[in-house]
Structure 1
Amino acid sequence: MRRICFTLQVRPERMAEYRRRHAAVWPDMLAALKHAGWHDYSLFLRDDGLLVGYFLTGDLDAALTAMEATEVNARWQAEMAPFFADLPGGRPDRGFRVLTEIFNLEEQLGEQQ
């Protein structure tokens, strides 16, 4: 599994609503993510709006393509896009910035998962 970490910037005036929306994500969106190969997916939000996401997947391109094929993802992305500043491509799922992993404890200890 590949670890993916990404960032987006939530507009400060939309942070409270963004938190509310993620407290109860649509069940069909949750199911689509799981089916598309997004595992151990978490979002972290800093007080200044920096959003950091993390998930595991076998293949990032395949996971994104699988979500692209779902109707629920199109609806979710359309509703979430206005929450973000500086969104390349206009959609959160295509505008996030993937970070390069530079350290992993288990790998350096030789403990493969």
Structure 2
Amino acid sequence: MKRKAFLIESKPGLSEEYKKRHNPIWPELKQELKKHGVCNYSIFLHENSESLFGYFEVEDEALFEKLGESEVMQQWWGYMTEVLVCESDQSLKAKEEMLSEVFHLD
């Protein structure tokens, strides 16, 4: 199992909308994530900065890499660009910064 983590930012004042859009998450997106080997997925909000930290695990990196090609994932990214900071107005998904693991304790 490979652990992955990322940072994203909600647009100013839209963290509550971000939370709403995840509760509940689209059933077809949940199914697509699992189909691509994603598990143990959590997203945390830092209220003061409206920054979001995501953590998940993947079974197979190659299978996970194909997730972005799925129609459901692309629709979700488009939907979420309304509430997340993106590289530009034309971005198809939010600006996402992947993190490197420094320490892990089982």
TM (norm. structure 1) is 0.81
Residue type matched to 1:8 in 2?
Answer: I
**In structure 2, what is the Cα distance between the partners aligned to 1:96 and 1:61?**
19
The unaligned stretches of length 5 or more in structure 2 are none
Give the C-alpha shift of residue 61 in structure 1.
5.0
1:88 aligns with 2:76: no
Q: What SS is found at the alignment partner of 1:88? A: coil
Structure 2 residue aligned with 1:55: 56
Task: Number of aligned residue pairs: give it.
Answer: 102
Rg larger in 1 or in 2? 1
Give the C-alpha shift of residue 72 in structure 1.
1.1
Residue type matched to 1:55 in 2?
Answer: F
Identity of aligned pairs, percent? 29
Of Structure 1 and Structure 2, the greater helix share is in 1
**Deviation string for 1:26-82 (max 9, x for gaps)?**
1000000000111101100111211000000134453132x2232111111110012
Residue type matched to 2:31 in 1?
Answer: A
TM (norm. structure 2) is 0.86
Structure 1 residue aligned with 2:33: 33
Structure 2 residue aligned with 1:68: 68
CA gap 1:31/1:46 in 2 versus in 1, 3 angstroms: same
